[in-house]
């Protein structure tokens, strides 16, 4: 899809590759529910490491992207916090209990994005970079 958009006639596209949006990812179901939560634990003793972005930060970035000069934006931008987090950090910030299981063969330990182009662009850098800030963002915008 990216290659198609970049070669299509018409306005220059700006492609946003969005990290896990707190509130729209798998861990968010655990935040909202009461069911038992089980996380994969990898050999280093931690759970999955992911890039996240808060709802408010994503909205601010999109609003800026549609109004700023095109030359201020790269063609492709990874959108996420500058600091990846382990999933257990989000659960701990929510004071949500969970259980560990050994990560099965093939489980994805790391799924992060580089935010270097975002930081260098004129777009706003996500401010919710801690588990507590992302959890608060989710609580504030869950509806």
Is pLDDT of 136 > 90?
yes
Q: What is the dihedral of CA 88, 94, 95, 99, to 10 degrees?
A: -30
> Are 141 and 135 spatial neighbours (Cβ–Cβ below 8 Å)?
no
CA 32 to chain CA centroid, nearest Å: 18
> Are 32 and 138 spatial neighbours (Cβ–Cβ below 8 Å)?
no
CA distance linking residue 58 with residue 64, whole number of Å: 10
> Are 65 and 73 spatial neighbours (Cβ–Cβ below 8 Å)?
yes
Rounded to 10°, the helix 55-65/131-141 angle is 80
DSSP 3-state of 52? strand
Write the pLDDT tens digit of every residue in 12-21.
888 999 999 9
Write the pLDDT tens digit of every residue in 24-74.
887 777 777 778 899 999 999 999 999 999 999 999 999 998 888 888 888
Q: What is the pLDDT of residue 28?
A: 76
Euclidean distance between the first and the last CA atom of the chain, given in angstroms as a whole number:
31
Write the pLDDT tens digit of every residue in 76-128.
999 999 999 999 999 999 999 999 999 999 999 999 999 999 999 989 999 99
Domains of the chain: 2-141 (3.40.50.720)
Prediction pTM value: 0.89
């Amino acid at each position: 899809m990216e290659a198609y958009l970049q070669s299509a006639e018409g306005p220059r596209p700006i492609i946003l590759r969005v990290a896990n949006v707190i509130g729209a990812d798998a861990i968010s179901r655990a935040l909202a529910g009461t069911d038992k939560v089980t996380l994969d634990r990898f050999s280093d003793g931690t759970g999955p490491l992911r890039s996240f972005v808060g709802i408010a930060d994503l909205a601010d970035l999109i609003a800026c992207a549609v109004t700023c000069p095109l030359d201020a934006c790269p063609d492709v931008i990874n959108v996420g916090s500058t600091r990846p987090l382990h999933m257990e950090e989000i659960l701990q910030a929510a004071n949500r209990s969970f259980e560990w299981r050994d990560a099965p063969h093939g489980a994805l330990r790391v799924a992060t994005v580089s935010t270097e182009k975002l930081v260098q662009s004129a777009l706003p850098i996500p401010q919710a970079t801690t588990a507590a800030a992302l959890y608060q963002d989710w609580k504030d915008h869950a509806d």
